[in-house]
Amino acid sequence: MSKNSILVINCGSSSLKFAVINPATEEEKINGIAERLGSSEAVLRWTLRYKNNGEKGSQTLGLAAHEAALEGLMGLLREEGLIEGISAIGHRVVHGGENFSESCLVTDEVLNAIENCIKLAPLHNPANLTGIRAAQKIFPGLPNAVVFDTAFHQTMPAEAYLYPIPYSLYKEQGVRRYGFHGTSYRYVGQAAADMLGLDINNSNILVAHLGNGASACAIKNGQSIDTTMGLTPLEGLVMGTRSGDVDPNLFSFLNKTLGYTLDETTDLLNKKSGLLGLSEMDSDCRVIEDAAVEGNEHAQLTLDVFCHVLAEKLAGFAAAMGKIDALVFTGGIGENSSIIRKNVFERLSIFGFKLDEKLNDETFRGKSGVISQEGSTVGMVVATNEELMISRDTQALTA
Ligand code: ADP
């Protein structure tokens, strides 16, 4: 059987997402997730994309961790006759620090460098490493590649990535803005340029990646020149449960007024803030939108804060780029929420954005396309596909 598939793995602390993609046709054969890893209720769920328009299946894994999840996945791939076709495995890795400006093959040196970045991403990088090591064990002989969320932003100029704090903290501890969602930006930037008939190497594209985690990026001539997330994915925009930018003195304020420890405030800002904290309803944008549509003023205010921060950042990026060829929305909220897109368009009207309400309302659930009127600065939606980007990189490194 010819080797015609790439296995893409995105390993979190208690989940493992996967997809098998044919690099020639870029079609997904199967995708899925192993969830609740580490608990006694671990479960593997998948969708066979080539069967009956997406046949779904699941299997309980018992008390399973990442290795057992990959064994379960291997069994499934064998059953479906897909295992022999896999030529390489591509892994998402969150933090590559300043060591990686592009994807690469896994070697001992690369694993060490990822390990050295654990202090920058203590929740993510250990899980990513677990996934790589488990894959090396369960699928011996297959090459593994790593694709970093931070790599795309390594082109940012120093004026965009340095924080105005003692320079020694950058030199000695690596404290700087790194940025995340880079794999999505690379995919979305190129796809937007292709759709608009632009040369990515001669273009100015703003992208808002709005999911549970949210960030924005200024892509000039195909390179990231600025982004909103920072040393960690907490900085920048309002997110599902993350605050984004707040006054850093909040740490000492909450300590002095309420006795909060460092960990408590860190937890508050990461898990209890953002849409959830402000709305006092939910982290899911849909719930807040529904409430706002029904006249709940506090829900509307929450959406307005979300859009205010986003529009402010995008306006700053636009000024730095000098010209906007396109503003692209992506991620769960960006791809589906006509309400958020309309709100942001109105706030950015100074840049010549005029919304086509019909196109805006019709663009959701994976549909990509322009949502601005003729004669307007272009606004559009591009459905992101990080798995495809990982499979492209893995194929390029191993073919
Ligand atoms: P992640 O960052 O975890 O990958 P996604 O990109 O899948 O997240 O985005 C998930 C978010 O997308 C959900 O929390 C929800 O708020 C939002 N979302 C999905 N569909 C809609 C919709 N129709 N309207 C508004 N928001 C939506």
Tens digit of pLDDT for each residue in 172-205? 999 999 999 999 999 999 999 999 999 999 999 9
Place 63 in a pLDDT band, splitting at 50, 70 and 90: confident
For ligand 1, mutation pick of 33, 123, 285, 364 (most atoms within 8 Å of CB): 285
Residues 6+ apart with CB under 8 A from 357: 342
User: If you measure from the C-alpha of residue 253 to the centroid of ligand 1, how many angstroms do you get, rounded to a whole number?
Assistant: 32
Helices (H), 221-356: 250-258, 262-271, 274-279, 285-293, 297-321, 331-336, 338-347
pLDDT at residue 87, rounded to an integer: 97
Q: What is the Cβ-side half-sphere exposure of residue 336, based on CA atoms within 13 angstroms?
A: 12
Q: Hey, how many other C-beta atoms are within 10 angstroms of the C-beta on 331?
A: 22
Sheet holding 5-11, edge to edge: 55-62, 42-48, 27-35, 16-22, 5-11, 86-93, 144-148, 104-105
For ligand 1, mutation pick of 286, 287, 361, 384 (most atoms within 8 Å of CB): 286
Q: Hey, how many other C-beta atoms are within 10 angstroms of the C-beta on 272?
A: 14
Q: Check pLDDT > 80 for residue 114.
A: yes
Separation of alpha carbons 255 and 264, rounded Å: 9
User: If you measure from the C-alpha of residue 128 to the centroid of ligand 1, how many angstroms do you get, rounded to a whole number?
Assistant: 23
Separation of alpha carbons 191 and 215, rounded Å: 18
For residue 331 and ligand 1, the question of a CB distance below 6 A is answered with yes
Could you give the 3-state DSSP secondary structure of residue 370?
A: strand
Percent of the chain with pLDDT over 90: 94
pLDDT at residue 123, rounded to an integer: 85
Q: Which two tokens stand for residue 343?
A: 């709100």
Q: Which two tokens stand for residue 398?
A: 């191993």
Could you give the 3-state DSSP secondary structure of residue 267?
A: helix
Q: Check pLDDT > 80 for residue 29.
A: yes
Question: Judging by beta carbons within 10 Å of its beta carbon (0-12, 13-18, 19+), is residue 108 exposed, middle or buried?
Answer: exposed
For residue 330 and ligand 1, the question of a CB distance below 6 A is answered with no
CB under 8 A, 24+ apart: contacts of 365-368: 365/335, 365/336, 366/335, 367/335, 368/191, 368/195
pLDDT at residue 64, rounded to an integer: 82
For residue 333 and ligand 1, the question of a CB distance below 6 A is answered with yes
- Mean pLDDT throughout 137-155? 96
Q: What angle do CA 218, 220, 223 make, to 5 degrees?
A: 90
Cβ contact 227:153 at 8 Å: yes
- Mean pLDDT throughout 285-311? 98
Which residue, by CA, sits nearest to atom 23 of ligand 1?
Answer: 336
Percent of the chain with pLDDT over 70: 100
Cβ contact 150:100 at 8 Å: yes
For residue 51 and ligand 1, the question of a CB distance below 6 A is answered with no
pLDDT tens digits along 230-279: 999 999 999 999 999 999 999 999 999 999 999 999 999 999 999 999 99
> Which has the closest alpha carbon to 280: 241, 250, 308?
241
For residue 360 and ligand 1, the question of a CB distance below 6 A is answered with no
Separation of alpha carbons 98 and 13, rounded Å: 23
- Mean pLDDT throughout 381-394? 97
pLDDT at residue 1, rounded to an integer: 59
For ligand 1, mutation pick of 33, 181, 237, 284 (most atoms within 8 Å of CB): 284
Separation of alpha carbons 230 and 225, rounded Å: 13
Range 283-297 burial, b when 16+ CB lie within 10 A, else e = bbbeebbebbeeeee
In degrees and rounded to multiples of 5, residue 349 shows phi and psi of -60, -25
Which residue, by CA, sits nearest to atom 27 of ligand 1?
Answer: 333
For residue 211 and ligand 1, the question of a CB distance below 6 A is answered with yes
Place 13 in a pLDDT band, splitting at 50, 70 and 90: confident
The residues that are catalytic are 149
Ligand 1 nearest atom to the CA of residue 283, by list position: 14
Average pLDDT, the chain: 96
